[in-house]
């Protein structure tokens, strides 16, 4: 008998839960709100991404724009990132991110309520890794990618997930790319 696959946004059959797949918080389930456009990066895609990154991120400084459920940022923290900034504007999502950070005791995570584009435009910080996973089909990734280079350290990387193919950008190489359902994703490296 075949087991039913969990629907998107489900972990172990529970609605609005995401499972951390590796690192110190491995197997922990995190709740997130039922919000329009909030679809966490699936386990299989996160596993692929962190295989590309080499599994562990010791001391890395990461930015999770459009954090939503926080799946990518919590995964980075679980794998040793020294600092993770999560930027999200939805109040319910912020409350869930704060609660999950407290449940995990993940003090390296800094949750900020802000519009991702405005926050990025005003930030002078640089990062080892930036996650760009805006609400699906929002078109917001293009605006972020236009301003991404100045926010990455030399050799820094950006993970992009969107509804259309990720195309090469000036100053970046596409290290790896893939597709899962309607989502296209790629890992870019700053030259």
**Domain 10-190 belongs to what topology?**
Rossmann fold (3.40.50)
Confidence of residue 2 (pLDDT cuts 50, 70, 90): very low
Cβ atoms of 130 and 54 closer than 8 Å: no
Residue 104's nearest CA partner among 30, 154, 43, 38 is 30
What is the reported pLDDT for 163?
86
Helices (H), strands (E): how many in the chain?
5, 11
- Residue 11: its pLDDT value, please? 45
More confident call, 35 vs 189: 189
Extract the runs of DSSP E, i.e. beta strands, from 42-82: 61-65
Q: Whole-prediction pTM value?
A: 0.89
Taking 70 as the threshold, does the pLDDT of residue 14 lie above it?
A: no
Least confident of 51-65, 81-95, 110-124, 132-146: 132-146
CA atoms within 13 A on the CB side of 99: 12
Higher pLDDT pick, 125 / 4: 125
Task: Assess contact for 31 and 38: CB atoms under 8 A.
Answer: no
The rounded Cα 100 to chain-centroid distance in angstroms is 15
C-beta separation of 88 from 113 below 8 A? yes
Give the mean pLDDT of 67-88.
Answer: 96
Q: Of 68, 61, 78, 67, which is closest to residue 20 (Cα–Cα)?
A: 78
Task: For the chain, give every domain's residue range.
Answer: 10-190
Report the C-alpha gap between 11 and 51 in whole angstroms.
21
Share of the chain above pLDDT 90, in %: 68
For 118-141, what is each residue's pLDDT tens digit? 999 999 999 999 999 988 767 777
b/e 112-123 (16+ beta carbons within 10 angstroms → b): ebeebbebbeeb
When pLDDT is cut at 50, 70 and 90, the band that residue 96 belongs to is very high
* pLDDT for residue 51: 95
Per-residue pLDDT band for 15 (boundaries 50, 70, 90) equals low
Residue 100: what are its φ and ψ, rounded to 5°? -65, -35
163 versus 108: the higher-pLDDT residue is 108
């Amino acid at each position: 008998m075949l087991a039913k696959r969990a629907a998107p946004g489900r972990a172990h059959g529970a609605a609005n839960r995401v499972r951390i797949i590796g690192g110190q918080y491995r197997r922990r389930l995190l709740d997130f709100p039922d919000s329009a456009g909030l679809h966490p990066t699936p386990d299989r895609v996160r596993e692929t991404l962190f295989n590309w990154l080499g599994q562990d991120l010791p001391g890395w400084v990461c930015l999770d724009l459009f954090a939503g459920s926080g799946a990518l940022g919590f995964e980075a923290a679980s794998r040793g990132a020294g600092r993770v900034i999560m930027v999200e504007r939805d109040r319910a999502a912020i409350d869930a991110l704060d609660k999950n950070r407290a449940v995990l005791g993940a003090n390296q995570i800094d949750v900020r309520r802000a519009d991702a584009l405005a926050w990025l435009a005003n930030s002078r910080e640089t990062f080892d890794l930036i996650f760009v996973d805006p609400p699906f089909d929002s078109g917001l990734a293009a605006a972020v990618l236009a301003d991404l280079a100045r926010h990455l350290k030399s050799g820094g990387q950006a993970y992009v997930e969107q509804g259309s193919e990720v195309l090469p950008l000036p100053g970046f190489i596409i290290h790896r790319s893939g597709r899962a359902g309607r989502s296209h994703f790629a890992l870019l490296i700053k030259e």
